[in-house]
């Protein structure tokens, strides 16, 4: 039973920072591995890796040891001072990336990293116009929020001029189809840029996209799309910025999701997975772009830029990912997870689609019998999963309430994947029926 503080504190003292149901019931007391535990002892299998971040699970012993050791030695510095963890992390991250991505700066959140990347792109190109997907999420700071279309645009006054939305190449719900009824993403991309060119004042600076749209419904860009998008950018003198907050560092089965497409972005942003749950983000770019930005007076100064404590954690994250080959593990677990979800789809017609890469998987419900719409059905399944011991993240956007983001830690066991699938099936059986 919830005590009086747990029942009343959210209403009395906490700002609600998103829509209805922002706070889950119960007070979380601790977390370990793939599970979180409430004060009253209820265990929740965490299939969202916290806020899609804890790729090594909770309280990983090597992360715990790094934090204890580093905070006692060196935690925070004046922003102009350098430390060994920062220098090591910059060098090591560059070693995981293709050339010419060899310059890094370290920040705290994905929004902050995207803000810095857009500021750099505008300064280097001399333009100000930004293109991003119509169901994008890049953060809630100014430039990042202006490039976000999935939520948060209503009620805050005019957005900055020069922000354009590009149609999402969604294979399950295609906007433009070929003669066989399949998504015609090339034609859609051409038409999207025809509209952008018509609206542009000739000041295009950057295109900011995720290789797999997460809040946008776990939409994996079709093979070849990123290459074609890069060419569109080059034709217009724009920089291509890839936001790999959720896809970077092994979650999709590759170290970086863009590797599949054989392209290299002009600027790469990392966040959530880099700190494995702690606040650490990065902007990476080429020496050429960094030099041009520096020559033009690039300024992005924050209190915690290049702090040693989170950088030390980032180094430990790289240690574990490499040693334990978690890119391979993410592929293996992803096959197991998607295979189990595909079996459920064969038994439950309300499952319309299973998609994703590695351990970033989307499950989309469709309208069920008896007039149950997907949004309401998704909410009911989510509630029942939580009651049975599984935290499943749901995309809380109008018309997308039936789309789940499933992202267990890369350290999850086969048994935990199977347990999550079993709980999901029970929830589906009780709320949707066969």
Three-class SS of residue 93?
A: helix
- What is the reported pLDDT for 96? 98
pLDDT confidence of residue 5: 58
> How far is the C-alpha of 397 from the C-alpha of 217, rounded, in Å?
9
Q: β-pairing, 403-406 with 393-394?
A: antiparallel
Domain with residue 352: its CATH number is: 3.90.1150.10
- My answer on whether 208 and 293 are in the same domain is yes
Residue 375 belongs to a domain: yes
- Residue 252 and residue 327 in contact, taking contact as beta carbons nearer than 8 Å: no
Per-residue pLDDT of the chain (434 residues; tens, 9 = 90+): 456 555 666 778 888 887 666 788 889 999 999 999 999 999 999 999 999 999 999 999 999 999 999 999 999 999 999 999 999 999 999 999 999 999 999 999 999 999 999 999 999 999 999 999 999 999 999 999 999 998 889 999 999 999 999 999 999 999 999 999 999 999 999 999 999 999 999 999 999 999 999 989 999 999 999 999 999 999 999 999 999 999 999 999 999 999 999 999 999 999 999 999 999 999 999 999 999 999 999 999 999 999 999 999 999 999 999 999 999 999 999 999 999 999 999 999 999 999 999 999 999 999 876 656 898 899 899 999 999 999 987 776 666 668 999 999 999 999 999 999 999 999 999 998 76
Question: Could you say which of 103, 122, 251, 272 is catalytic?
Answer: 272
Residue 122 vs residues 82, 150, 295: alpha-carbon distances, Å? 27, 23, 14
DSSP letter (8 states) at residue 276: B
Give the three-state DSSP class for 394. Answer: strand
Annotated catalytic residue 185 = no
Q: Are 106 and 86 in contact (CB under 8 A)?
A: yes
pLDDT, residue 15, reads 87
Predicted local confidence at residue 271, as pLDDT = 98
Measured between alpha carbons, how far is 239 from 268 in angstroms, rounded to an integer?
11
pLDDT score recorded for residue 20: 60
Domain boundary, last residue among 323, 352, 374: 323
Q: In terms of Cα–Cα distance, which of 368, 364, 366 is closest to 342?
A: 364
Q: Does the annotation count 88 as an active-site position?
A: no
In a domain, 67, yes or no: no
Judgement on whether residues 312 and 346 belong to the same structural domain of the protein: no
Catalytic residue among 119, 232, 338, 405: 405
Q: Which of 46, 243, 254, 327 is catalytic?
A: 243
The Cα–Cα gap between 104 and 101 comes to: 8
Buried b (16+ CB within 10 A) or exposed e, 302-313: eebbbbbbbbbb
The torsion angles phi and psi of 293, rounded to 5 degrees, stand at -65, -45
pTM: 0.96
Is 51 noted as a catalytic residue in this protein?
no
pLDDT value, residue 358: 98
Of 137, 185, 254, 255, catalytic: 137
Q: What is the CATH number of the domain that holds 269?
A: 3.40.640.10
Is 65 among the domain residues? no
Based on the structure, what is the number of domains in the chain? Answer: 2
Q: Where in the sequence is the domain holding 175, given as residue range(s)?
A: 74-323
Same domain, 319 and 335: no
pLDDT at 25: 81
243 counts as catalytic: yes
User: Could you tell me if 183 and 299 lie in one domain?
Assistant: yes
* Angle in degrees, 0-180, between the axes of helices 414-431 and 374-388, rounded to the nearest 10: 130
Query: What 3-state class would DSSP assign to 43?
Result: strand
Active-site pick, 210, 307, 375, 416 = 210
Assess if residue 69 is contained within a domain. Answer: no
Among 289, 323, 357, give the residue marking a domain's end: 323
- 272 catalytic? Reply is yes
**Considering the domain boundaries, does residue 140 fall inside one?**
yes
Q: For tokens 């001029």, what's the residue?
A: 161
Per-residue model confidence (pLDDT) at position 432: 86
Query: Which one from 246, 266, 331, 357 is the annotated catalytic residue?
Result: 246
Query: In this structure, are 287 and 337 located in the same domain?
Result: no
pLDDT of res. 1: 45
Q: Which of 282, 308, 323 is the last residue of a domain?
A: 323
């Amino acid at each position: 039973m919830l005590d009086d503080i747990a029942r009343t504190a959210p209403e009395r003292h906490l700002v609600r920072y998103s829509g209805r149901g922002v706070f889950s019931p119960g007070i979380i007391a601790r977390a370990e591995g793939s599970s979180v535990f409430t004060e009253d002892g209820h265990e929740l299998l965490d299939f969202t890796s916290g806020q899609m971040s804890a790729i090594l699970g909770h309280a990983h012993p090597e992360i715990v040891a790094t934090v204890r050791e580093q905070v006692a030695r060196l935690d925070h510095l004046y922003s102009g001072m350098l430390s060994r963890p920062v220098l090591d992390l910059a060098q090591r991250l560059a070693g995981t990336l293709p050339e010419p991505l060899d310059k890094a700066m370290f920040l705290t959140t994905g929004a902050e990293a995207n803000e810095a990347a857009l500021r750099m792109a505008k300064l280097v190109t001399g333009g100000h116009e930004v293109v991003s997907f119509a169901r994008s999420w890049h953060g809630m700071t100014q430039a990042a929020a202006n490039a976000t279309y999935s939520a948060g645009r209503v009620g805050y006054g005019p957005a900055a001029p020069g922000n354009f939305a590009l149609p999402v190449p969604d294979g399950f719900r295609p906007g433009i189809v070929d003669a066989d009824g399949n998504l015609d993403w090339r034609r859609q991309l051409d038409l999207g840029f025809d509209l952008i060119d018509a609206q542009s004042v000739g000041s295009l600076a950057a295109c900011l996209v995720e290789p797999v749209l997460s809040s946008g419904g776990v939409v994996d860009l079709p093979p070849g799309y990123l290459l074609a998008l890069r060419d569109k950018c080059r034709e217009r003198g724009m920089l291509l910025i890839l936001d790999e907050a959720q896809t970077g560092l092994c979650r999709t089965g590759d170290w970086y999701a863009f590797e599949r497409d054989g392209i290299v972005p002009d600027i790469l942003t990392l966040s959530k997975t880099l700190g494995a749950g702690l606040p650490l983000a990065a902007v990476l770019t080429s020496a050429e772009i960094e030099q041009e930005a520096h020559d033009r007076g690039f300024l992005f100064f924050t209190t915690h830029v290049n702090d040693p404590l989170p950088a030390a954690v980032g180094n430990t994250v790289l240690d574990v990912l490499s040693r334990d080959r978690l890119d391979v593990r993410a592929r293996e677990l992803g096959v197991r997870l998607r295979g189990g979800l595909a079996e459920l789809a064969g038994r439950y017609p309300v499952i319309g689609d299973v998609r994703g890469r590695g351990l970033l998987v989307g499950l989309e419900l469709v309208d069920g019998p008896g007039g149950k719409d997907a949004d309401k059905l998704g909410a009911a399944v989510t509630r029942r999963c939580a009651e049975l011991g599984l935290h499943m993240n749901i995309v809380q956007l109008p018309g997308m309430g039936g789309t789940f983001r499933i992202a267990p830690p890369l350290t999850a066991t086969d048994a935990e994947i199977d347990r999550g699938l079993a709980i999901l099936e029970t929830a589906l059986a009780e709320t949707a029926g066969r």
